[in-house]
Chain A
Amino acid sequence: MMLRRLKYWMESARRSEALREEMELHLAEKAAELEAGGMTPERARAEARRRFGNLGLKQEESREIWIARFWSELGQDLRYGLRTMAAGKAFSAVAVLSLALGIGANTAIYSLMESILLRSLPVADPESLVVLNWRSRAPQDADKEWVHVVHGVQGVLWPADDGVLETGMFPYGAFEMFREENPVFSTLFGYFDGRNKTLTVRGQATIASTEYVTGGYFRALAVSPAAGRLIGPEDDRAGAAPVAVLSFTASRQRFGEPWNAVGQSILVDNVPFTVIGVAPPEFFGVDPAAAPDLYLPLHANLLVDGARAARMYSDRNFYWIEMMGRLRPGVSLAQAQAALAPRFHRWVEATATTDGERARLPALVLNPGAAGLGSLRRRYARPLYLLLAMVGMILAIACANVANLLLARAAARRREMAVRLSLGAGRFRIVRQLLTESVMLASLGGAVGVLFAMWGMRLLTSLFARGQENFTLHAELNWKVLGVTAALSVACGLLFGLAPALKATRPDVMPDLKNRRGGGPRRRAQHVLAAAQVAFSFLILVAAGLFVRTLGNLHSVELGYARENILLFTLPARQAGHTETATLYEDLRKRFQAIPGVSSATYSNSSIIRAGQAGGAYRGAMRAGSVAIEGARVLAAGPRFLSTMQIPILAGREMDDRDQQGSTPVAVISERLARTYFGGENPVGRRITFVDENRDVEIIGVAGNVRYGGLRRESPMTVFAAASQAAPEQVTYALRTAGDPLQYVRSVHEIVREVDSRIPVTNVITQAAEIDRTISREITFAKLCTGFAVLALLMACVGIYGTMSYSVARQTGEIGTRMALGAQRGDVVWMVLRRALLLAAAGLAISLPAALAASQLIESFLFGTRPNDPATLALAAAILMGAAILAGYVPARRASRIDPLRALRHE
C-alpha cells in the first residue's frame, strides 16, 4: 500500500507540473493573440487571465479528478481482489499460509536480532555513551611465558582470533586518570562484575548476581529510582556506610514491593548492608547479557571481598574496573579517541617494568556504547546471521511458491485478461489490478505471519534461554519489527506478483481467445521457480543435516561418567559465612546419602562438564617427581566420587571417608595422566607435587578418562584431589538417584534448611541437563534447522506438485492421444514423474556447488563432521528426490487416469 501511495504522489507531482505548464502555454498563446489584435501586452495578459477563469481553482479541480479516480480504482481493485481471493479459497489459503510461515519466521528471527544486536540501552541519550577498551599484542612470549603489564585480572580476558588481546578492564589508577579533567567526556563511570553473592533477607539465603558501580554510575546513565535513592558519589568511598540498591525484580521477589525494600537490612556474603533504593524495572545495567539483582558501591568490595580487594585499588598492574563515558556535546568518537589515546599511552607506559612489557603496551580503543557491552553480540551475532540467512531462504521459497501458483492461475485467467485487454482496458491498469491482488495476499500473509512470529518468538527465546540462568533477553514485537514485517510483506507481494502480472498481460494474448492449450515460456518460468525452490530447500536440508549430525556426535561423545540419574546442586557455604567448610560438607553429604532412593552422594568443586569454566580447584604448576606436568586439570572430589559418577577405577582405590583433613593428602589420576607421566609403571603410591601450594599428594588410584570442561574438547589429563584436603569455596553435590533426579529436590532443600538456612541451594539441575546446557547452541540449531528444513521441503513439494498438476492439466489432450495410441498407464506415470525428477535434479545441480561453498561458512558450528560431509549431502539429496517423487506422483496418477475418449473430444 505504502509503495503505491508513494508512486501515486510522485506521479501526481509530475502531473501537476505538466498541468501548470499547459495552462501557462495557454495563457501565453491567448495573450499573444490578443496582442496581435492590438492590445498592449499588459492588458492582453490581464484579459487572457480573465477569460481563463480562476487558475488555481481549475488546477485544483483537475487534481481532484485524479485523486478521486485513484481512490475509486483502489477500491475497485480491492473489491475485485477480495472476490478473486474468495473465489479461489484453496489457492488463497496455500498462498497465505506459505507466506505467513515465511514472513513469520523472518519476523521472529529479526525481532530476536533486534533485541540482541540493534537495540539501545534503556537510558537517556544512549548515543553519547562510549565504552573504553584496550588492545594489545598477544601476551605470551615464544616460550609461552606471560609477559605483559597486565599482571593480574579480575574478570575474563577475551583473546581475539589472531591472538590479540582486547578487553575493557583497566587498573583503578587509569580510571582516576581519565576522570581527572577530562576534555571529551562530560562524565565517566566504572563498574565491575561482582559475580554471584549470597543475599540473605530475613534469614533466607538466595543467590544474587551483583554489580559493583562507581558513585557516578546511576547519575551518568540518568536513571531515576523506582523507590528510595540510587548510589551516589558519597556512598562510594572507603569507610562509607554500606548501602545497596536492588533491581526492580529482585525487590519484588525478596520484599514483595519495591517500597518495602527501602531501609531494610540485608546480608551480602554475610556482610550487613542497608537497601537505600530500587532501580527502575526496565534498567538492567550496561550489559544486555546480564541483569544484576544487586548494585553495590565500588568500594564496598573492601568489605565483601576482603583483603584481596584492597590491593585492587593500589596495584597499577592489576586490571579489573570497566568504564563508560558520555561524550560532551559536539565531540565525536574519533576526537575522543584522539584526545585520550595518548594520555592512556603515557600512563600505561609508566607501569611497564621490562622491555618485554613495553613492547606490547595496551592501546586505548573507544567503542560506541549505545547498545551496551558487546558480550551478547559476540556470542550471538554469527548464529543469528546464519539463522536470518536460513529464514530468508525460506521466504524466498515461499515467494517462489506463490509466484508459481499465480503463474498457474494467470494461465487460467488468460481468457479473462484477453477479454479485458481487447475491450480496451489499459495494460498498466490490469497489471496494477493483479499487483493489488498479490500485495493483498502478501499483507494477509504478513498479518497471519505476525501471529506465527509471536509464537515463534516465545519458542526462540526459550530455546536460546536454555542453559542460562538469568537470560535477560525477551524479543518483542515493537513498531520497528512490525514496520519491517509490513515492508517485507509488501516487497514480497510486488516481487512474486510482478512477473506473473506482466506475463498475464503480454500483448500477444490474442491466441488465447481461441482457448488453445499451449504456450511454452510460461511453463519454463514455472519450472525455473520450482527448481529454485528445490535448490533453496537443498541448502537448508544440508545445513539441518550437518547440525543434527553435530548434535548426534556431541551426544554420543564418550563421557567416561554417568549422564542419567544424577542430581546436581551447588552450596556456597563459605559465602554464607562458614569458615570451617570441610566437616559441614561431609556432614551434609552423609545426610543426602541417607535420603531414601539416593544410592550414593558425593561432591566436587564443580560439575565435571563445567569444571575449568567455573575455575579449577588448583591452577598452579604441578610436578611428578622432577618432571613438570603440563596440561593436567585438578578437580577437588569428595568421597565416593568415582563410584557415584560411575567412572571406572582402573587401579588402586577411590577417595573415601578415610581421607580426612589431617590424614595423608591423596589424589586419583586419570588413565591418560598415568600413561603420559608414569609410562608402564603403576603410579599408585607415587606422588604429585602442587608447587604453588607447596604440598605433595599421594596417588591412590587410577580412574578412566573423563570429558572434562566441555564436550568438544578431548578428555584432558585429570587429577582428582581429595576435597576434604583442598577446601573449595563452594561445592557441587552429585546424588545418584533411583528414578527422576528432580523428585529429590525437596528433600535436599529440607536438609539444607535444617543444617543452616543461610546457605542457598543453587544451580539445581540434572546431570543430563547440565551437559545439554553446554551444547545449548547446538541443540537450538539442530531443532530450528530441522524445523526449517521440514518447512522448506513442504513448500518445495507444493511447488513441484503445483507445476506438475498444471502441466498435466494442459496436456490432457496430448496424454489422451498417447493413450489412444497405446501408451500404458505406467508410461504416462513415468512421463510425469520423470519430469518432476528432472526438476528436482536441476535444482540439485544448481544447489550443490552453493551448498559446498556455503557449508564452509558454518564449519565453526560443527563437531565431528566436516562441512562437505558426503553422507549428509547424499542423504539430503535422497530426501529431496523422495519428496519430489511423492509430490509428482499425485499428478502423475491423475494423468494416468485420463480417459482418452473424453480428452480427445474436448480437444
Chain B
Amino acid sequence: MGRKPQKNESLPGSLDMLILRTLSLRPLHGYGIIQFIQQSSGDELLVEEGSLYPALQRLELNGWIEGEWGVTANNRRARIYRITPAGRKQLAVETRNYARLTLAIARVMGAE
C-alpha cells in the first residue's frame, strides 16, 4: 500500500450514496460493501469502517435498504442488505444532486 488513501470527509452524506450505489448492483453484507467501495475506487476512498454501521441503520430505518440474515460467500452468517424501490428513487435523487454539486465545483475550479 503506497499512498495513503484519502479519507472520505470531503462530502458529508456521500457515504449513504455510496452504499446505495453499491447495493443497487447486488445485495451485500457490511464488510462486502466496504470492500466493494474500496476496490471500485481504486483504493482511493478509505471509509472509516465503523461508520458504515450507523449509516446502514439509518438507511434501513428510512426504508431505502432492507437487511436480512443470510450467508456470505465464505459461508458465514451475516446480515445481507438489499436496496428497496424507495432506495433506488433516493439513489437517483442523490446521484442527481451529486452530479450538480461536482459540476458546480468543477466550474468554480475551471473558471480562472
Contact B31 A51, beta carbon cutoff 8 Å: no
If A18-B79, A25-B31, A29-B74 touch, does A58 touch B50 (CB 8 Å cutoff)?
A: yes
B13 within 8 A of A: no
B100 interface residue per 8 A CB criterion: no
Shortest Cβ distance from residue A440 to the other chain B in the assembled complex, whole angstroms: 24
B34 to chain A: which residues have CB within 8 Å?
26
Least Cβ–Cβ distance between B68 and chain A, in angstroms: 11
Contacts of B50 in A (CB 8 A): 23, 52-55, 57-58
Asked if A30 meets B31 with Cβ closer than 8 Å, knowing A53-B50, A426-B63, the reply is: yes
- The reply to whether A26 and B30 contact each other, CB–CB distance below 8 Å, is yes
Interface size class of A (residues with CB under 8 A): 20 to 34
Partner of B49, one of A30, A66, A426: A30
- A58–B85 Cα distance when bound, in Å, is 27
**Which residues of A, 514-536, contact B by the 8 Å Cβ criterion?**
none
Chain B positions 65 through 102: 1 when the CB is less than 8 Å from some CB of chain A, otherwise 0: 00000001010111100001110000000000000000
Q: Does B40 contact A (CB under 8 A)?
A: no
Least CB distance, B77 to chain A, in whole angstroms: 8
Report how far A22 CA is from B77 CA in the complex, Å: 9
In the complex, the answer to whether B53 meets A19 with C-beta atoms within 8 Å is yes
Knowing A19-B53, A58-B54, A424-B85, say if A66 contacts B61 (CB, 8 Å).
yes
Query: For B8, what are the chain A residues with a Cβ–Cβ distance below 8 Å?
Result: none
Nearest opposing residue in chain A for B59, CB measure: A65
Determine which of B57, B77, B79 lies in contact with A65 in the assembled complex, contact meaning CB atoms within 8 Å: B57
- Can you name the residue of chain A whose Cβ is closest to the Cβ of B89? A424
Tell me if B29 counts as interface (CB < 8 A to partner A).
Answer: yes
- In the bound complex, residues from chain A placing their C-beta under 8 Å from that of B85 are 424
CB A479 to nearest CB in B, in angstroms, measures 37
Given A23-B53, A29-B31, A52-B49, A69:B61 Cβ within 8 A? yes
The residue of chain B having its C-beta at the shortest distance from the C-beta of A70 within the complex is B61
Asked if B51 is an interface residue, CB under 8 A from chain A, the answer is: yes
- Secondary structure of the B side of the interface? helix
- B65 CB to nearest A CB, Å: 13
In the complex, chain B residues whose CB is within 8 Å of the CB of A65: 54, 57-58, 61
* Assembled-state Cα–Cα distance A23/B78 (Å): 10
What residues of A have a CB within 8 angstroms of the CB of B78 in the complex?
22, 25
Q: Mark B34-63, 1 if CB is under 8 A from A, else 0.
A: 100000000000001111111011100101
How far apart are the CA atoms of A30 and B77 in the complex, in Å?
A: 15
Chain A 405-432 interface mask (CB, 8 Å, partner B; 1/0):
0000000000000000000101000000
Which residues of B lie under 8 Å from residue A59 when comparing CB positions? 53
Flag A20-46 by CB within 8 Å of B: 1 or 0 each.
Answer: 011101100110000000000000000
Complex CA gap A18/B77 in Å reads 11
Nearest A residue to B79 via CB reads A22
Q: B53 near A22 (CB under 8 angstroms)?
A: yes
CB-contact partner of B53 in A29, A58, A424, A426, under 8 A: A58
Given contacts A22-B78, A424-B85, contact A62 B31 (CB under 8 A): no
Decide: A58 and B57 in contact? CB cutoff 8 A.
Answer: no
B57 in complex: contacting residue of A53, A57, A66, A424, CB < 8 Å:
A66
A61 in contact (CB, < 8 A): yes
| CB pair A62 B51 closer than 8 Å | no
Cβ contact within 8 Å between A424 and B63:
yes
By a CB distance below 8 angstroms, the chain B residues around A424 are: 63, 84-86
In the complex the two chains form, what is the Cα distance from A62 to B55 in whole Å?
Answer: 8
| Contact partners of A426 in chain B: CB under 8 A | 63
Min C-beta distance of A423 to chain B, whole Å: 9
CB proximity of A325 to chain B, nearest CB, Å: 61
How many angstroms from the CA of A23 to the CA of B50 in the assembled complex? Answer: 8
Distance to closest chain B CB from A46 (angstroms): 14
Contacts of B58 in A (CB 8 A): 65
Give the CA-CA distance A52 to B63 in the complex, in Å: 25
Partner of A26 from B31, B48, B61 at Cβ < 8 Å: B31
Q: Known contacts A29-B31, A424-B86; is A62 also within 8 Å of B57 by CB?
A: yes
Note all chain A residues with C-beta closer than 8 A to B84: 424
Tell me the complex Cα distance, A52–B49, Å.
Answer: 4
A25 surroundings in chain B (CB, below 8 A): 29-31, 72, 76-78
- A65 to B16: give the CA distance in the assembly, Å: 14
**Are the C-beta atoms of B61 and A53 separated by less than 8 Å?**
no
| Residues in chain A near residue B86, CB distance under 8 A | 424
How far, in whole Å, are A69 and B58 apart by their CA atoms in the complex?
Answer: 9
B53 near A62: Cβ-Cβ < 8 Å: yes
Chain B residues within an 8 Å CB radius of A23: 30, 50, 53
Cross-chain contact B54 with A61 (CB below 8 angstroms): yes
Smallest beta-carbon distance B7→chain A, Å = 11
Question: In the complex, A405→B85 CA distance in Å?
Answer: 35
Q: Write the nearest CB–CB distance from B74 to chain A, whole angstroms.
A: 7
Q: How far is the CB of A44 from chain B (nearest CB, A)?
A: 14
Q: Name 11 interchain pairs, CB-CB below 8 A, sorted by A.
A: A19-B53, A22-B53, A23-B30, A26-B34, A29-B76, A51-B48, A52-B50, A57-B50, A58-B50, A62-B54, A62-B56
Given contacts A25-B31, A29-B31, A55-B50, 11 further A-B contacts (CB under 8 A): A22-B30, A22-B78, A22-B79, A25-B30, A26-B34, A29-B74, A30-B31, A53-B49, A65-B57, A65-B61, A66-B61
B interface residues, Cβ below 8 angstroms from A = 29-31, 34, 48-54, 56-58, 61, 63, 72, 74, 76-79, 84-86
Q: Which 8 A-B pairs have the closest CB atoms?
A: A53-B50, A58-B50, A61-B54, A29-B31, A52-B50, A62-B54, A62-B57, A52-B49
